[in-house]
Amino acid sequence: MSSGDSHTGFDAGAFTACAACGALTVAGAMVAAVLGAAQLNARRWSAWNREQLETALDLSEELRRHAYEEREELRVENAKLMLAQRRLTMRRAAA
């Protein structure tokens, strides 16, 4: 035991070294996973030609626009329903 260690014989230096090695191992695995995902993504798009990519982008934008418009319509409808609910509550309270 080195000076300052407890009665358990805990080696702080060895623990720190092992913790650092473990952290580097996890970081390495994460980097490998990210690189693998990037390569897989690149391979998926490599078979597409420009026209196909533009069509896919146009469709994606159209779907996004449609979803936005639908959300906006639902927001307006919800506001109308809330107003009608308040009016009904006011009528009931007045009656």
Tell me: the pLDDT tens digits for 19-71? Answer: 898 899 999 999 999 999 988 888 887 888 999 999 999 999 999 999 999 99
Prediction pTM value: 0.46
Quick one: tokens of 80? 């109308």
Specify whether the backbone of 64 is left (phi greater than 0), alpha (psi in -120 to 50) or beta: alpha
So where are the chain's domains? 11-47, 60-95
Residue 41 CA to residue 49 CA, distance in Å, equals 15
Rg (CA), the chain: 31
CA-CA-CA-CA torsion sign (86, 88, 90, 93):
negative
